[in-house]
């Protein structure tokens, strides 16, 4: 099996130090993480860089790799496999893939932790303009008693006597093909190569404990339901106090009583009386910014109202687009505010009102209006408006 050059996978030179390797890995992991990169190739690449990092971040495995050994060989593969031979075992034993006697080194006690995901519900205005929130998170953190070592204070892990620190032992079994020697993870130390004689009482030797802590999270302006905000190194600490994974905060935007969001545009409906729609008027309406109260309660340069010009003769269903009054985009720009005007027909007329309306109807010759049938629905899309424009000629 040909193996990719692990240094090339991470894009580092062969003499790169541990810090450089870690930085290179983190940078790639951020680009390729399946949560942020939907490209199917990215997922395979993400696993590839994970495997490369697993080896190059571990001094023993890296040394084994540099010597030309297979640092992945059988890592944990022997666990729970039972006594039988698999076809791979036999092929490996005969063709040298897993030749007995060739050391692959123990598996590390310290491994990178997993990413964590939490959900956060925020208001529409907070999603639009950004917000800073305190979050309670419950993750594994490094055990403060043993600092991740897993050993009782004053004691240390000791080399396993069964495997002499190799983490694996040779198995010899007979089969119809002859004697087969395979390397299996050492049962005494579970492949670690070391034994903790006196585990830390706080973490039972795991090097990490669960802890609830409060994090301050800055949610950028323009997020929407489903957006994941990444907090590097705030996820689970790994076994043996290993480097932490990342924490992802998945945003869920609550429904707003007035504004609905479509992409970066905001939509709302305003009702105006029939008389105002006929005569025209100007309305002052609250913007989404009105929801944002400055923390100090002081003045703000946000525009909390906007003027809507209702032209004389406005029809019910008319849309007015206010450019740049929508939600700011995550990558700049801002959507529009689309206001739909609904004309309210008066109900329960007083005697004088009815008299005036009847008089108006008489003047306009509308006492016995003839029904005019038209195609389409009163709420026209862009196509409907276009068709109307053609029909007008």
Residues that bind Zn ion (CB under 5 A): 143, 145-146, 160, 162-163, 186, 188-189, 200, 202-203
Using only C-alpha atoms, what is the Rg of the chain?
A: 35
CB of 116: closest distance to Zn ion in angstroms? 20
User: CB-wise, 196 or 288, nearer to Zn ion?
Assistant: 196
CB of 163: closest distance to Zn ion in angstroms? 3
How far is Cα of residue 32 from the mean position of the Cα atoms in its chain? 12
User: CB-wise, 143 or 272, nearer to Zn ion?
Assistant: 143
CB of 143: closest distance to Zn ion in angstroms? 3
d(CA 150, CA 296): 47
Tokens 């123990």 found at: 106
User: CB-wise, 207 or 335, nearer to Zn ion?
Assistant: 207
d(CA 104, CA 70): 6
CB of 215: closest distance to Zn ion in angstroms? 23
Query: Helix (H, G, I), strand (E, B), or coil: what is residue 120?
Result: strand
User: CB-wise, 145 or 318, nearer to Zn ion?
Assistant: 145
How far from each other are the two terminal CA atoms of the chain, in whole angstroms? 75
Taking a C-beta distance cutoff of 8 angstroms, is the pair 208, 237 a contact? yes
CB of 60: closest distance to Zn ion in angstroms? 14
User: CB-wise, 187 or 293, nearer to Zn ion?
Assistant: 187
CB of 288: closest distance to Zn ion in angstroms? 49
User: CB-wise, 165 or 326, nearer to Zn ion?
Assistant: 165
∠ CA(45), CA(47), CA(48), 5° rounding?
60
Q: Give strand ranges (E) for the chain.
A: 116-122, 131-142, 158-159, 168-175, 178-185, 194-195, 208-219, 228-231, 247-253, 260-262, 265-273, 281-286, 305-310, 318-322, 337-344
User: CB-wise, 171 or 256, nearer to Zn ion?
Assistant: 171
Neighbours of 28 (CB within 10 A): 20
CB of 78: closest distance to Zn ion in angstroms? 12
d(CA 71, CA 53): 11
d(CA 78, CA 182): 10
């Amino acid at each position: 099996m040909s193996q990719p050059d692990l240094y090339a996978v991470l894009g580092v030179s062969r003499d790169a130090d541990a810090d450089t390797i870690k930085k290179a890995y983190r940078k790639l992991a951020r680009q390729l993480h399946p949560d942020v990169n939907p490209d199917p190739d990215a997922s395979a690449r993400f696993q590839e860089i994970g495997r490369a990092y697993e080896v190059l971040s571990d001094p023993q495995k890296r040394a084994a790799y540099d010597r030309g050994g297979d640092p992945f060989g059988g890592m944990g593969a022997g666990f729970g496999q039972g006594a039988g031979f698999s076809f791979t075992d036999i092929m490996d034993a005969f063709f040298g893939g897993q030749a007995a006697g060739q050391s692959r080194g123990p598996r590390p006690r310290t491994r990178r932790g997993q990413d964590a995901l939490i959900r956060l519900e925020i208001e529409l205005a907070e999603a639009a303009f950004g917000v800073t929130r305190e979050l309670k998170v419950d993750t594994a953190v490094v055990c403060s008693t043993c600092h991740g070592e897993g050993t009782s204070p004053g004691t240390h892990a000791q080399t396993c006597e069964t495997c002499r620190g190799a983490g694996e032992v040779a198995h010899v079994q007979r089969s119809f093909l002859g004697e087969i020697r395979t390397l299996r993870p050492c049962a005494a130390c579970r492949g670690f190569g070391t034994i903790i004689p006196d585990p830390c009482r706080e973490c039972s030797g795991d090097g990490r404990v669960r802890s609830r802590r409060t994090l301050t999270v800055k949610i950028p302006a323009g997020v929407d339901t489903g957006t994941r905000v990444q907090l590097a190194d705030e996820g689970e600490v790994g076994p043996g106090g290993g480097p932490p994974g990342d924490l992802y905060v998945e945003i869920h935007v609550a429904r707003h009583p007035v504004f609905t969001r479509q992409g970066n545009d905001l939509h709302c409906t305003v009702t105006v009386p029939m008389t105002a729609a006929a005569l025209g008027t100007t309305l002052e309406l609250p913007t989404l910014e009105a929801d944002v109260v400055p923390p100090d309660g002081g003045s703000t340069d946000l525009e909390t109202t906007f003027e809507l010009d209702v032209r004389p003769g406005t029809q019910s269903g008319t849309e007015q687009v206010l450019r740049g009054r929508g939600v700011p985009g995550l990558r700049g720009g801002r959507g529009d505010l689309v206001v739909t005007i609904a004309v309210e027909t008066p109900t329960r007329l007083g005697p004088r009102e009815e008299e005036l309306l009847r008089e108006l109807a008489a003047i306009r010759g509308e006492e016995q209006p003839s029904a005019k049938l038209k195609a389409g629905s009163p709420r026209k899309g862009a196509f409907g408006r276009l068709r109307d424009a053609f029909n007008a000629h």
